[in-house]
Amino acid sequence: NPTVQIESAISDTQFVVSLTDQSKFSKGKICHVHNADYSESNEINVLEVNGATITLASSLGFTPDNNHSIDLIGFEDGGLPYRLL
């Protein structure tokens, strides 16, 4: 599963990723946003991708920053992410 760093945040529902990572996101996909120790962590579906700006379907409950990572986004070919249970 790819892991992507947030470049900057706009709000608790929008953030910006690098131009090289934007193609990893698409509408409806899950994304798990978290900080290093997972004390801020939430899974939300992607509502819209506009260039490198990602809009989520609902609030994360916190505003992420460039210390937050995103995983469980699946693969560019549309494949679903792997999840360890």
* pLDDT tens by residue, the chain, 85 residues: 889 999 999 999 999 999 999 989 999 998 999 999 999 999 999 999 999 999 999 999 999 999 999 999 877 777 778 777 6
Q: Calculate the alpha carbon distances from 14 to 41, 42, 81, 83 in Å.
A: 15, 14, 21, 24
**pLDDT at residue number 75:** 74
pTM, to two decimals: 0.90
Per-residue model confidence (pLDDT) at position 82: 75
Q: What is the pLDDT of residue 36?
A: 94
